[in-house]
Amino acid sequence: MSVVSYQLEGDIGVISLNNPPVNALSHALRLGIQDAVAQAQNDASLALVLICQGRTFIAGADISEFGKAPMLPSLPGLLDIIEASTKPIIAAIHGTALGGGLETALACHYRCALSSAKVGLPEVKLGLLPGAGGTQRVPRLAGVKAALDLITTGTPITAVNALKIGLIDKVVKGDLLSAALDFAQDIIAQGAVLKRVRDIAVDNEGISADFFAEYRAHLNKRFRQQEAPQRIVECIEAALSQSFDEGLKVERRLFVECMQSTQSAALRHLFFAERMSSKIKGLPKDTQLKDIKRVGIIGGGTMGGGIAMNFVNANIPVTLLEINHEALQRGKDIIAKNYAMTVKKGKLTTELAVERQALITGTTDYNDLADMDLVIEAVFENLAIKKQVFAKLDSVCKPGAILASNTSYQDVNLIAESTSRPQDVIGLHFFSPANVMKLLEIVRGDKTSEQVLATSMAMAKTIKKIPALSRVCYGFIGNRMLRQYAREAQLCLLEGSSPEAIDRVMQNFGMAMGPLAVGDLAGIDIGYKAREGLTDEEKGDVRSYCIADALYEMGRLGQKTGAGYYRYDAETRQRIADPIVLEVIEAQAKKRGVERKAISDETILARLTFALINEGFKILEEGIAQRSSDIDVVYAFGYGFPAFRGGPMFYAETIGLEKVYQTICQFGATYGEDFWQPAALLKQLVAEGKTLSEWSSNS
């Protein structure tokens, strides 16, 4: 069946696209549109309507063509043909018109859309810019400021807002084809004027001499180190100062630069990695799923409350269990506060917030969890307590119910042993704040059933999480690697650096916050209490936590006490370097026999990032993670690793595995092999001259 059909409806030609599931701009689709437009130039039609079948207008490029040799007609070439039509073409939009889809609509002479439709140019999220005239046509219709805001954020806007800024000409109701045909008749009645966007002059009113410099500065703060947003500004500057054709040349040149950049390669890697992470190797595709209609959550604190919100947001009722009514009320108050903030931001109506909270039932009685399909434990990170909870759940929950622990570190196999149904036990590690963070680390116990695994993956999608599968080890994927990152931050402090220097290096790298600022935000007491449950051997070298312990013992717990690695302004919460912390660091260094020396920014960056990378290789060789891209997903979506670096494992590839290996060996000689022992897999790949990508595809 052809993906493009053409037929006359009276004196209007209808070009209908049908390329499921999202009418992506495949070669066949482009060729079909080209042929239909050519056919229409010589028939009885007076105007043309371009419309899509299925659930959406053209939602963007065909990702299966990424990285392949282009086939004619190219998208820019096709849009020239559309715009040059001697008969007006009306794009009729429903669903989403994104990327090349919106660019196709902009090349048409008119655009109408259902009010439910959205339009956008999200290329920047892949480190790209619109490459088929988007940066030249949008400012001609919407103005420079609106174009910059739309294209540099990549966030879609509603049809109503698109109408306000001039991107579409009419919002319609009812049947889209009928409405588009009526709109076409109106255009014919008005003389069938060919409104070509290329012929519109860009309005320079309100664009001061400093406008673009100020906008660039704004982008530098919002999208630190990212190249594509700055190149988009250059394209829109060209739209204002040059002809349409010259502007297209600038756009094409910068698009190619973006496509060939490491940043775009990293973002495209994550795009595919995110889709791959939900696939479990060896799991039959026809594995029957359990039905999750009711969920129980044990623990109504910040984490438990956040987890509850995920389910009620998906219209799944939750029973929230706490130790007493006071604790239960505190938990409900936390949830109410979170919803109030969302309403205040305009992201949710008051009515919907009330409806969602009504789906949460509170209880202090385990028997009220008897009919739950899934129960998630979110109590203190203490193995003995968790085992007690699971033993209780084993006695009250119905057969087949999934019993999940929101543990960050504990052994899921040992937790499962406290039940008579280890096949139903799994780890579901949410990240704080659980109602916001996208990552869900799914921890597979030795006896977890395939059905429970498959159901958990599907459930993650239902509650709009990005899942990544991990086997059991201390800290799983994310926190196991984080320990090494935190270790090097602490050792750099002890050996000569300062909190502000370390945090500055990592922020310049692209992290939202540096490791010491994160420590203050989370609370220095969290790590201290976690270490209390470990043996001296499990804690590791005292040098890797002695500064944190000294600050804890001084009552400096971070932001909550107004002082940690930094002092905090009582009103603004702004962090301020504190000489007292330097005194603590120097005292600990003297106590541990460490001679402090200046450490370069390059060394700080390498020590922190290579510690992550090396541990990632160990996780792969042990089979804790399924694939290297899953590790990248964990760090990009759970730990703030800059997406434009692609995650720690992709970043290692961009540096070169041989350089990573050699540097780790040098660090071993300088700082001690106890901390710096190259992973066997890293050593193997370097010896064989293979990339991590090659290893992953063969493993």
User: Which residue among 9, 65, 83, 103 is the active-site one?
Assistant: 103
Residue type, 319: T
What's the N-to-C CA distance of the chain in angstroms? 38
* Cβ contact 452:428 at 8 Å: no
Closest CA to 494 of 557, 587, 601: 587
In whole angstroms, how far apart are CA 156 and each of 97, 102, 104, 122? 9, 10, 16, 7
Burial of 614 (0-12, 13-18, 19+ CB in 10 A): buried
Residue 44 backbone phi and psi in degrees, to 5: -85, 0
Known active-site residue 538: no
* Cβ contact 419:393 at 8 Å: yes
Peptide bond into 73 cis (omega under 30): yes
In whole angstroms, how far apart are CA 5 and each of 80, 420, 697? 20, 60, 39
Known active-site residue 322: no
* Cβ contact 648:641 at 8 Å: yes
Residue 93 backbone phi and psi in degrees, to 5: -105, 130
Handedness of CA 119, 124, 129, 135 (dihedral sign): positive
In sequence order, the 6+-apart residues with CB closer than 8 A to the CB of 474 are 409, 411, 480, 538
Burial of 409 (0-12, 13-18, 19+ CB in 10 A): middle
User: Which residue among 123, 274, 441, 495 is the active-site one?
Assistant: 123
How far is Cα 633 from Cα 468, in angstroms, rounded to an integer?
7
Residue 661 backbone phi and psi in degrees, to 5: -60, -50
As annotated, the active-site residues are 103, 123
